[in-house]
Amino acid sequence: MMEREKNDILYLVVPCYNEQEVLPETSKRLKEKMESLMERNLISRDSRIMFVNDGSKDRTWEMIEELHDQDPLYQGVKLSRNRGHQNAVLAGLMEAKDVSDITISIDCDGQDDIATMEAMVDAYYDGAEVVYGVRSSRDTDTFFKRFTAQAFYKVLMRMGVETVYNHADYRLISARVLKEFAGFKEVNLFLRGMIPLVGFKSTSVFYERHERIAGESHYPLAKMVNLAIDGITSLSVKPLRLISGLGIGVSVLSFVGVLWAVITQICGRTVTGWASTVCVICFMGGVQLVCLGVLGEYIGKIYMEVKARPRYIISERTWTKQNEDEEKGE
């Protein structure tokens, strides 16, 4: 495959939620990296850093506007309300797909290694359409976080979800892939499992994850569990098949129990067993409730998909606001 010509337009998509503590330092680091890539003619001077404000309650949006006023390299998109990390990333990607050649999504907390962007861009020029940023190790994590994160990826793979191990949302995507991905209309988003479904040539680059610059993580255990459930139920029907298998197994055991009860009755050796009866009833009730819960989760997902509500609504864009101000000035 022939290598691409360099100097393509790169848009960095940076989702933000209550990031006023880290935004000054993150914006500075991202700008330095973008200018470095521009000086080496790896990306165009028309490249931009796009912050996506996901309904922040602090001064995040005001700071984004100030950054844009100081330097047009910075752009901002404001969602009408908090829609979650996945929707914020998607909003930025969809805004960038028609004005860029490549996009890189990266979190605002400074944990993803910014220096890895150069390797991502190089991989793109070598022919890759998607470049995944993958953690090389989890030595900096606590035991609990490392254990739960690794279990998270293993469960996803066991359930048939195609994903890249130890990859989150730090990735490069070409405009070609984004235009195809725009046809995916799911409301229940799990981007790290959906991007591989698009296909095209992909590769991975490895990096060491840093400590958060400041503030607290916005992804506690509860959100990780919800994300895992969304990923499994949105991209796999394996839990339904497991329920079917469980149902068959319980039916076989029940049939054996019925045979045993009939035989003991015929032989006249019937023994009253209150405890065993209660255990069987409780076991069957628990199995049925679990199965109903899984079915309910899928029905809820179908309900959300059928309504086809917008996944996000953009209330403001820094560049359109600037144009309006200029028109008023005229």
Place of tokens 């023994």: 271
Nearest to 131 by CA among 123, 139, 141: 123
The whole-angstrom separation of Cα 234 and Cα 86 is 13
For domain 10-234+310-329, which architecture applies? Alpha-Beta Complex (3.90)
pLDDT, tens digit (0-9, with 9 covering 90-100), for 16-61: 988 888 888 888 999 999 999 998 888 889 999 999 998 888 888 9
From residue 301, alpha-carbon distances to 56, 182, 321 in Å are 26, 20, 36
Provide the whole-model pTM: 0.76
Helix, coil or strand: residue 80? coil
Structure tokens at 30: 């991202």
Place of tokens 């797909």: 97
State what percent of residues in the chain have pLDDT above 70: 82
**Is 128's pLDDT higher than 80?**
yes
pLDDT given at position 1 = 47
The whole-angstrom separation of Cα 196 and Cα 131 is 11
Nearest to 205 by CA among 142, 114, 102, 107: 114
| pLDDT classification of 141: cutoffs 50, 70, 90 | low
**Is 198's pLDDT higher than 70?**
yes
Helix, coil or strand: residue 71? coil
The listed range with the strongest mean pLDDT (13-17, 105-109, 276-280) is 13-17
What is the pLDDT averaged over residues 162-168? 77
Residue that wins the pLDDT comparison between 91 and 284: 91
Say if residues 84 and 47 touch (Cβ distance below 8 Å). Answer: no
pLDDT given at position 11 = 93
Amino acid at 242: L
Find residue 207's DSSP bridge partners.
Answer: 135
Strands (E), the chain: 10-16, 48-53, 74-79, 102-105, 130-135, 167-174, 202-207, 314-317
Find residue 13's DSSP bridge partners.
Answer: 50, 105
Helix, coil or strand: residue 51? strand
Task: Compute how many other C-beta atoms are within 10 angstroms of the C-beta atom of residue 231.
Answer: 25
**Is 237's pLDDT higher than 80?**
no
Structure tokens at 229: 């459930």
One DSSP character per residue, 198-267 reads H-S-EEEEEEPPPPPSSS--S--HHHHHHHHHHHHHHH--HHHHHHHHHHHHHHHHHHHHHHHHHHHHHT
What is the pLDDT averaged over residues 282-299? 75
Segments making up each domain of the chain, as ranges: 10-234+310-329, 238-307
Amino acid at 282: C
Nearest to 20 by CA among 65, 85, 70: 65
pLDDT given at position 148 = 74
Element (H, E) at 63: helix 60-70
Amino acid at 112: D
Find residue 74's DSSP bridge partners.
Answer: 49
Please give the mean pLDDT across all residues of the chain. Answer: 80
The strands making up 74-79's β-sheet, listed across from edge to edge, are: 202-207, 130-135, 167-174, 102-105, 10-16, 48-53, 74-79, 314-317
**Is 127's pLDDT higher than 90?**
no
Structure tokens at 86: 């996945």
